[in-house]
Structure 1
Amino acid sequence: MTTIDDIPSRKLRSTTHDDNTSSERLLRTVARFVAAGYLIYFAILLPDFLRTAYVTESWWTPTAMIAVFGTGLSMGFASLAADTKWIRVTGAVATFAFLAAALSWWLAWDTSVVDTNGMPLASFPGLAGLAAAASLPSWLAFAQLTVTVVSVQLSINILRGPLLDGPLLADITFALMFCSIFVAATLGVIRTARILDSTRDTTHRQAATEAAVSARAVERERFDALIHDGVLSSLLAVARLGRTEGVIRQTEHTLAQLDSLRNHSSATTFDVDEALARLRSAATNVDEEIEIAVESRTDALYPAEVIRTASAALAEAVRNSVTHAGSDATRVATLSLRKDDISIVLSDDGSGFDPASVAPHRMGIAVSIVGRMRSLPGGSARVDSDKNDGGTTVALHWSAPS
């Protein structure tokens, strides 16, 4: 039996990516960037922190370094957690740890000491601003940045004292503008990622609605097919053959199907013959030239919803192949139906494509194929292709949950 794992890799790239949202992936990237920044600044500024320790009380330098750099580095570890809330928690802690260190400096400063080099903490207030942008509302992020920048710039100015009297207002304004650029950019890309997630969710809901409309159309076709294949054929069989055992069984089966329609219900299971018929019909309705190969089959009953969903996913896969693989491509659908297990592999020898390059708004693969199969308990799908070697393989699989 062919399953998803049996398909040769051929250096193929799969569409089964991480399920995290765009905003979550971006948040993890920002957290790692901020943590790397804290690590770099620690390595660069450690000598300056040790050199200027005499400016403050003995407790301030080690406490401030542990609080500032420890919380900043913790964002990198939080980015490895499954839940991104820990990034926001550690980011908020890092933000306020930096602010607390900047404000507590005034309590620890030895007012009799001056130093022309200022204070090392003033070298990277923007990094704390990035942590704030990743974890706090925008207004609070800018408020924290403003208070921090003003505090550290005042510290530099008062430390330099009469030795180097610089333009305080100009220094504060420049530092605020410089840091605000990066904070605003971070807030902007995070907001854009959230809009993208919202747009994608809306598109998925619209696709689900369209799928429901399509399902109703399928049911109407089922009713038309029942009238043609069941009622009319039963009447013709009676007229030609009379009251035989075969005609009686056929008529009873047709009446049972009519009763299910009258009761506004539909079949809950399909036998292997009807399952294969529906899968064949789904593929050949899109491409009459497609080759259907039945690799294995067994006498079993399958949930109707599984067959309907797999048929719809197969039809969409064939439709994509007809549209994108090229006019000369040939398609083969291999069907394997065993007890509690269904495997469908559609392959073509077309031009191929790079699954990673498919735009997010293209729902054919993400929703109509992969999304459909994943909506089934025990269902899965994989789409593999290679733009260089050519050819695309779509593997649909369902196993009955334990």
Structure 2
Amino acid sequence: MAATTAAAPRPPVTTPAEGPRRESTDHISRLVARLISAGYAVYLILLLPAVTSMAPRMDAWWTPVIVVVVYGSGLLPGALSFRRDTRPMRIASGVAAMAFLLAVFSWPLAWNGPPLPSGEILWLATFPGLASLAVVSTWPTWLMFAHLVIGCVAVQIVNFAAHEDAPRELLLPEIAFAIMFCTLFVGAAVMALRTGRVLDATTDSTHAAAAAAAARRARTVERERFDALIHDGVMSTLLAASRQGATPAVSRLATTTLRQLDALRDDQGTQEHFGGEEALSLLRAAATEVDEGVALRAERQDGAQTLTIPADTARALAAALAEALRNSMRHAGETATRSVEVAVARTGIAVLVADDGRGFDPTAVPAHRLGVSVSIHGRMRQLDGGFARIETAPGAGTRVHLAWSTS
């Protein structure tokens, strides 16, 4: 993590609220969208001769319009899958599914004949499952399978209608085969997405458990602080009074103990809220507990004295700061130097933990290593208004940004 002499970090003005985790689900959805678009591209190339040969049998408008609508909408989800926001990709997938049904149901309106030769298949009948697969991550499962059944039934009926000599007794077997064949691929995609959702839910519960453990540890620290005050202040005062009586020394000791008890009572009287200075003291204590020699610089910005922080939030910040320092001491190298900068403002508090050590590649961190994802990102994600970012690269040190904002 890299030492820095820059100004202390500024608390963010706003921090977007985070809902349930969707990383794994969105990743699988993107892969499915790209697979679907690749399938549409391959089918367009393979079926172009069939499309061209059937065009004279249709109204002049139908073939160019349907080819553009069907294949254009099918290629769109893959292109949109590279965007950060997956909503346009999901909308495009729904459009692709509906475009296929539109093509099938509009076919009788544009069909002019003559019938297709017995060895030629209506080109729409070759990929009904691909259109249903497009909405595997967009529509409810029952609706997606309903689309699959409707598409397979309709396209087989149209295909039989386009052949004058097609044996009608084979229509039901062909429909059944098409539904079963397409269900294999659609079902596999459904299970893959379900696995992604389970993984996201498991990760969320792991992070929540880590945050709860951090809160319990923070409460234990508070109890230890209270126990220490009882032992060092109250009991010492009572013992001195029993031995020395009402002496000036005992009076001063009693006054000091009462002041400490008042301060402790004031902290608890606001229903577990800290002021900016109390939070700063907690952060300083967490840093020095891990590394007594760490340099900590505090900046109090305008209105910092009016800031009020929930105690659990301050404790989570302190725990994440301590974990960042521990990671630095473990991995940055023996010669690395560390620094901590804290900025307190009217609307929030920000922390920067930096070192000039080895650094690392965040993408190369194994999935089972939860120090960063749970103890830092996980803790901050649980906070309403929490924020965490890690800047690092091999040989370039590491900078861990932590922040909490009221707005």
TM-score (norm 1): 0.72
Cα distance 1:46–1:4, how it changes in 2: closer, same or farther (>3 A)?
farther
1:205 is aligned, of 194, 205, 208, to: 208
Paired position in structure 2 for 1:268: 274
Q: Structure 1's 135 and 281: CA in aligned 2 closer, same or farther, altered over 3 A?
A: closer
Q: Secondary structure at the match of 2:266?
A: helix
Deviation at 1:88, TM superposition (A): 4.5
Q: 1:204 is matched by which residue type in structure 2?
A: H
CA distance in 2, matches of 1:374, 1:191: 23
Decide which of 109, 117, 122 is 1:119's aligned counterpart.
Answer: 122
Instruction: Give the letter aligned to residue 211 of structure 2.
Output: A
What code does the residue aligned with 1:99 have? L
The amino acid across from 2:402 in the alignment is L
Q: Distance in 1 between matches of 2:165 and 2:189?
A: 38
Residue deviations 1:45-100 (CA, integer Å, cap 9, x gap): 45643431222344543453354235434545765787755554543443243134
Whether contact under 8 Å (1:329, 1:350) holds in the other structure is: yes
State yes or no: 1:365 paired with 2:365: no
State yes or no: 1:396 paired with 2:399.
no
Residues 303 and 234 from structure 1, CA distance in 2 versus in 1: closer, same or farther, beyond 3 angstroms?
A: farther
5 Å matches for 1:245-324?
250=256, 253-260=259-266, 265-266=271-272, 268-271=274-277, 275=279, 277-285=281-289, 287=290, 290-297=292-299, 301=305, 303-304=308-309, 305=311, 307-322=314-329, 324=330
Q: Identity, % of aligned pairs?
A: 40
Q: Distance in 2 between matches of 1:86 and 1:143?
A: 23
* Count of residue correspondences: 380
| Greater Cα offset, 60-69 or 125-134 | 60-69
Offset of 1:282 from its aligned partner?
1.5
Quote the Cα distance in structure 2 between the aligned partners of 1:296 and 1:206.
Answer: 31
Q: Which residue of 2 aligns with 1:34?
A: 36
Relative distance call for 1:170 and 1:384 in structure 2 (3 A) is: same
Tell me which amino acid in the other structure corresponds to 1:69.
Answer: Y
Shift of residue 193 of structure 1?
Answer: 0.9
Match of 2:340, SS? strand
Matches within 5 A, 1:346-361: 346-347=353-354, 352-359=359-366
Q: Report which stretch shifted further, 329-338 or 128-137.
A: 329-338
Alpha-carbon distance in structure 1 between the residues aligned to 2:206 and 2:108: 54
Counterpart CA distance in 2 for 1:191 and 1:339 is 44
1:222 corresponding residue in structure 2: 225
What corresponds to 1:15 in structure 2? Answer: none
Counterpart amino acid of residue 57 in structure 2: V
Deviates more, 1:22-31 or 1:190-199: 22-31
The alignment's C-alpha RMSD in Å is 4.5
Structure 1's 359 and 71: CA in aligned 2 closer, same or farther, altered over 3 A?
same
Partners of 1:232 and 1:267 in 2: how far apart? 28
Shift of 1:320: 3.6
Residue 325 of structure 1 aligns with which residue? 331
Cα pair distance change 1:310/1:242, threshold 3 Å: same
**Residue type of the alignment partner of 1:260:** D
Contact 2:210 2:378 in 1 (8 A): no
Change (3 A) 1:259 1:284: closer
Is 1:195 equivalent to 2:198 in the alignment? Answer: yes
Pair 57,217 (structure 1): closer, same or farther in 2 beyond 3 Å? same
C-alpha distance in structure 2 between counterparts of 1:352 and 1:2, whole Å: 22
Deviation of residue 220 (structure 1)?
Answer: 0.6
Identify the residue that residue 137 of structure 2 maps to in structure 1: 134
Q: State whether structure 2 residue 28 is matched by structure 1 residue 22.
A: no
Asked if structure 1 preserves the Cα contact closer than 8 Å seen for 2:215 and 2:316, the reply is: no
Kindly tell me: are residues 298 and 96 of structure 1, through their superposed partners in 2, closer, same or farther at Cα, counting changes over 3 Å? closer
Measure the CA separation in 1 of the matches of 2:143 and 2:231. 68
In the alignment, the residues of structure 2 paired with residue 136 and residue 298 of structure 1 have an alpha-carbon distance, to the nearest angstrom, of 51
Q: Mark the runs of 5 or more structure 2 residues left unpaired by the alignment.
A: 1-5, 11-20
